[in-house]
């Protein structure tokens, strides 16, 4: 039987660094292109249209040199906004996001225990490369922003 620490370390390893969905490490220009694409094509399906208000990027996004390769993009999303838009309870938001992924044929892994949905998203202007985008539903964008930045 695994200890709680072993479980948490394994869970975080699987979702951090682009490993949950076998994402390709992305350069900074690629992360920016993927984020713009996700903002345009996926987040509005969740009712998210105001960067910094109902969703925000976390972590190293935009903070590395162009040639450095972060493993993934972390996006915090407002539980309240998604629940209202999709007509579900706060408890069912993650399940509803997964259902949107299924409907849109987006490959994902759902880390139920850590409340992260990891998407495999095509990297624009590449031949068949995919990056990992972690969707992190939260009651407080500010709280996650403080922790991850």
Q: What is the Cα 139 distance to its own chain's centre?
A: 15
Give the model's confidence band at 38: pLDDT under 50 very low, under 70 low, under 90 confident, else very high: very high
Percentage of the chain modeled with pLDDT above 70: 79
Q: Are strands 55-58 and 130-138 parallel, antiparallel or unpaired?
A: unpaired
The pLDDT of residue 63 is: 58
CA dist 37 to 11, 30, 98, 125, Å?
Answer: 27, 10, 18, 11
Which residues does 44 contact at the CB level (< 8 Å), separation at least 6?
A: none
On the question of pLDDT at 36 being above 60, the answer is: yes
| Token duo for residue 131 | 């990056």
- Of 13-22, 30-39, 96-105, 112-121, which range is least confident? 13-22
The pLDDT of residue 3 is: 54
d(CA 82, CA 75) in angstroms, rounded, equals 13
Q: For all residues of the chain together, what is the average pLDDT?
A: 85
On the question of pLDDT at 95 being above 90, the answer is: yes
The pLDDT of residue 132 is: 94
On the question of pLDDT at 93 being above 90, the answer is: yes
Ranges of beta strands (E only) in the chain are 55-58, 72-78, 108-111, 116-122, 130-138
């Amino acid at each position: 039987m695994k200890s709680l620490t072993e479980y948490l370390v394994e869970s975080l390893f699987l979702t951090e660094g682009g490993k949950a969905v076998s994402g390709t490490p992305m350069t900074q220009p690629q992360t920016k292109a993927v984020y713009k694409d996700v903002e345009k094509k996926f987040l509005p399906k969740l009712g998210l249209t105001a960067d910094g208000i109902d969703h925000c990027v976390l972590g190293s996004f935009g903070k590395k040199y162009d040639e450095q390769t972060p493993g993934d993009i972390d996006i915090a999303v407002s539980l309240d906004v998604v629940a209202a838009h999709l007509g579900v309870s706060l408890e069912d938001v993650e399940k509803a996001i997964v259902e949107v992924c299924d409907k849109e044929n987006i490959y994902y892994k759902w880390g139920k225990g850590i409340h992260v949905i990891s998407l495999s998203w095509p990297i624009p202007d590449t031949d068949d490369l995919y990056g990992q985008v972690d969707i992190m539903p939260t009651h407080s964008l500010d709280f996650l922003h403080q922790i991850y930045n």
